[in-house]
Amino acid sequence: MAGIGSLLAAGGTDAADMRNQDAALDSRLRAGRESLGPAATPHYDKPLELARGEGVYLFDAAGSRYLNMYNNVPLVGHGHPEVVSAIAAQSATLNIPSGSLSGVVKAYAARLLGHFPASLGQLVLTCSGSESNDLALRVARAVTGRQGVVVTRAAIHGGSAAVAEISPLLSRGEGLRPYVRTVPAPDAALAGTAPLGSWFAARVRAAITALEAKGAGFAALILDGAFASDGVFTDPPGFLAEAVAAVRAAGGLFIADEVQAGFGRMGGGLWGFTRHGVVPDIVTLGKPMGNGYPMGGMVTRPDYLARASERSPCFSSCGASPVAAAAGMAVLDVIEGEGLVRNAVRCGEILKAGLRGLAKRFACLGAVRGAGLIIGVDVVDPQSGAPDTAGARRVVNTLRQNFVLIGTAGLDGHTLKIRPPLCFTAAHAAHFLEVLRAVLASLG
């Protein structure tokens, strides 16, 4: 600290001379010192410094415009005026932590819960998807009295210590804990001729048995409704039902992680789990809930929450703020007012049809999967059909050079992950398909 020595020398109780410290700082800035940690590394080979966002577009410092199909957080579009106004107005009016409830928080909670099955009658608001999943694990373990959790092999459920433990892709330096078991993604290609639902349920049952044998017992199966980090697995609708029945038979809870899938992204309703005709025991929500305002939520049965709260209070002190509620309310208004769930279905179909057309033409594209506006496309070796991780990176980085942003996913990182804001249109889809065609031709 510029000045800590002199501050203490001066007696330690004088007010800091912040201006001097800021001057020292400026020189640090000029020196270009990297002040953010290693996890802040950008995703592209050529780093991207962004300056502005509007609708589906991001703009860099030089004014170049990018079609953003990468990010699920700005759900209803970058800088949506209705959401921005709601945040600004509520920030000016009242912004307090959750202790003292305000009308807008209660109204939002009631409105949001109205979009869930009646059994899921209580909401805890948090500041992030990580906090929501952390809380969900605590509730599941308190309710079952057991520790064991089943996740998919490439799951990412968040960054807190408890949640990173159940996120195999984040545990690169360490093996998984004995109370965590993985199952493969529900990939029809792996299931072969077996019905996908039975194949997946058998793997879940085996994982539960292994946990019980280890003595950890089985607390919960937690799944991302879109299997986004696994590579996007959405079909056939209903395939999850048998696995969820196996969970219930073993006395465990099913946690639907809707951080990626939720709020209409998959079409057909607001939540990914509706696609499978199942009712979760706990649902967790995150980033898109406030279109980027940091908020999340955990929805569960009141008796479950009461039981967990007996052991330790379930809270997030900044979670239930009126500003978060106002942002969340505006997001629901926009989804409804602009018909974004219907739009996700329509534009998702256009994208998938186009991608399947390209896959016929370019042998490096494999399976195309997805529902609504979350789509995965495998990049494979044209000869062997094996996953082509480097090829997927090449496609993503060349698209970025051509002002289109997408990501990768999957255990092998060979799946193109396509996830635009829900205000994406047929014209954007056509533009993307044309750029991708040109990129594939150039790489070919």
CB neighbourhood size of 391 (10 A): 19
Asked if residue 241 binds its own copies (CB under 8 A), the reply is: no
Nearer to its own copies, 98 or 415 (CB): 98
Letters for 161-180 (x = contact with its own copies by CB under 8 A, - = none) are: xx-x-----xxxxx------
Q: How would you classify the pairing of strands 218-224 and 407-409? A: unpaired
Specify the stretch interacting with its own copies by CB under 8 A; choose among 201-209, 260-268, 360-368, 420-428: 260-268
Specify the stretch interacting with its own copies by CB under 8 A; choose among 132-140, 146-154, 212-220, 380-388: 132-140
Q: Which DSSP letter does residue 78 get?
A: B
Nearer to its own copies, 95 or 389 (CB): 95
Asked if residue 426 binds its own copies (CB under 8 A), the reply is: no
Asked if residue 425 binds its own copies (CB under 8 A), the reply is: no
Alpha-carbon distances, residue 436 vs 395, 414, 441 (angstroms):
8, 16, 8
Please state the closest distance from residue 278 (CB atom) to its own copies, in A.
10
Q: How would you classify the pairing of strands 407-409 and 415-418? A: antiparallel
* Residues in region 201-230 near its own copies by CB under 8 A: none
Crossing angle of helices 129-144/302-311, nearest 10°? Answer: 90
Asked if residue 45 binds its own copies (CB under 8 A), the reply is: no
Among 217, 252, 267, 421, binds its own copies (CB under 8 A): 267
Asked if residue 145 binds its own copies (CB under 8 A), the reply is: no
Asked if residue 131 binds its own copies (CB under 8 A), the reply is: yes
Specify the stretch interacting with its own copies by CB under 8 A; choose among 188-196, 210-218, 303-311, 415-423: 303-311
Please state the closest distance from residue 17 (CB atom) to its own copies, in A.
10
Asked if residue 13 binds its own copies (CB under 8 A), the reply is: yes
Residue given tokens 């009308």 in the structure block: 103
Asked if residue 417 binds its own copies (CB under 8 A), the reply is: no
Among 64, 198, 209, 317, binds its own copies (CB under 8 A): 317
Q: Which helix (H) or strand (E) holds 220?
A: strand 218-224
Cβ atoms of 39 and 382 closer than 8 Å: no
d(CA 420, CA 68): 6
Alpha-carbon distances, residue 293 vs 130, 270, 287, 323, 442 (angstroms):
14, 19, 7, 9, 39
Among 46, 62, 63, 114, binds its own copies (CB under 8 A): 114
Asked if residue 438 binds its own copies (CB under 8 A), the reply is: no
Specify the stretch interacting with its own copies by CB under 8 A; choose among 113-121, 190-198, 389-397, 433-441: 113-121
Nearer to its own copies, 43 or 361 (CB): 43
d(CA 413, CA 301): 36
Among 245, 268, 425, 435, binds its own copies (CB under 8 A): 268
Please state the closest distance from residue 239 (CB atom) to its own copies, in A.
12
Please state the closest distance from residue 224 (CB atom) to its own copies, in A.
14
Among 253, 318, 355, 392, binds its own copies (CB under 8 A): 318
DSSP for 261-330, please give it: TTTTTTSSSS-GGGGGT---SEEEE-GGGGBTBS-EEEEE-HHHHHHHHHHS----TTTT-HHHHHHHHH
CB neighbourhood size of 167 (10 A): 22
Nearest to 153 by CA among 97, 87, 200: 200
